Amino acid sequence: MNKKVGIPRALFYYQYYPLWKVFFEELGAEVVLSDNTTKKIMDDGVKLTVDQACLPVKLFHGHVLNIKDKVDYLFIPRLTSVSKNEYICPKFGGLPDMVRNTIKDIPQIIDTEINLRKSDKKALEAVLEIGKFFTQDVRRIKNAYKKALENYYEFRNKVKGGTLPCDILDKKFNVIRKNSKRRLNIALIGHAYNIYDKYSSMNIIDKLKKNDIDIITIDMIDDGIINENAKHLNKQMFWNYGRKAIGGATYLIERGDIDGIICLMAFGCGIDSFVCDLIERKIRKNSKIPFIVLNIDEHSGEAGMNTRLEAFIDMIRWRNRDENNLPAYG
């Protein structure tokens, strides 16, 4: 019987699921995903974790609880770094331990460390270690990884072509366009697991789409462009996400066709608190693009989010309609 590997639909899922799904399936395993986030998953995560944990980490625990009894293994790699000379948030590195010490009766965790800070070659070492949970055939593991990478690059290319990762993962490509008003281009900046999770983001993507808005996220921007635009920083960013967010925002500010920028921040995220601040300073200094920071937390009342979002969109439309028509003398 095929071994079942559980992948929580949270955190790294939004960026790396296309890779790991193919990898495990090529090794003969069955991949089991947790359900879409619901109030119960959120509430379970909140109950299990300490108050100080950020919202996405709380949610991750809820997703683990959702699948732990349906699988033979839980895939929670110890992600330390996914790019040279950069780190990702240390909470990713601590995830396997947090889960192990918080949730009772869990299956074996595949917690191999993935640390590419010094070299990309470390990826293969990690992959071989993970693959050996299923087979000792090294060639088979390497072939599975090759196919997984092909699928991953296909996913990345679709995203760079303008399709939202959540639409690819949900297999929903057709966006209904009403064409009733001029479409706006709005950049939505935030961690993938915050902006693409419908429940925790309070469905911000669908709300924007329904308002005739085309959404651009930093995942759609080519890495070379991001790196070029992150060069203005006085020193290299410590965090992978920080470089992407600031490099991506700088590019979007200078592109000239962006009507507004939204930063979606998770309550309790230290990285977000200063990355959003740096982006705001850059916008205020170099442009007149309307900007708003929206905070998400475990409270589920949507009224506050809706009001702020509607006001932001209305303000952009009024400004485009009225201020653009003013003659130079006022």
Residues of this chain that interact with ligand SF4 (CB under 6 A) are 54, 56-57, 89, 91, 191, 266, 269-272
For ligand SF4, the closer of residues 47 and 182 by Cβ is 47
| Torsion angles phi and psi, residue 254, rounded to 5 | -85, -10
For ligand SF4, the closer of residues 21 and 244 by Cβ is 244
Q: How far is the CB of 272 from ligand SF4 (least distance, A)?
A: 6
For ligand SF4, the closer of residues 141 and 245 by Cβ is 245
- Closest C-alpha among 198, 324, 165, 195 to residue 262: 195
For ligand SF4, the closer of residues 27 and 95 by Cβ is 95
Q: How far is the CB of 56 from ligand SF4 (least distance, A)?
A: 5
228 touches 258 (CB < 8 A): no
Instruction: Give the Cα separation of 209 and 204 in Å (integer).
Output: 9
268 touches 191 (CB < 8 A): no
For ligand SF4, the closer of residues 44 and 272 by Cβ is 272
Q: How far is the CB of 219 from ligand SF4 (least distance, A)?
A: 15
Q: How far is the CB of 31 from ligand SF4 (least distance, A)?
A: 23
Q: How far is the CB of 321 from ligand SF4 (least distance, A)?
A: 37
Instruction: Give the Cα separation of 5 and 51 in Å (integer).
Output: 29
Q: How far is the CB of 48 from ligand SF4 (least distance, A)?
A: 15
Q: How far is the CB of 315 from ligand SF4 (least distance, A)?
A: 28
For ligand SF4, the closer of residues 61 and 191 by Cβ is 191
23 touches 148 (CB < 8 A): yes
Q: What is the DSSP letter of 117?
A: S
252 touches 286 (CB < 8 A): no
- 151: tokens are 């699928």
Which three-class secondary structure state does DSSP give residue 295? strand
For ligand SF4, the closer of residues 10 and 208 by Cβ is 10
212 touches 184 (CB < 8 A): yes
Instruction: Give the Cα separation of 130 and 20 in Å (integer).
Output: 10
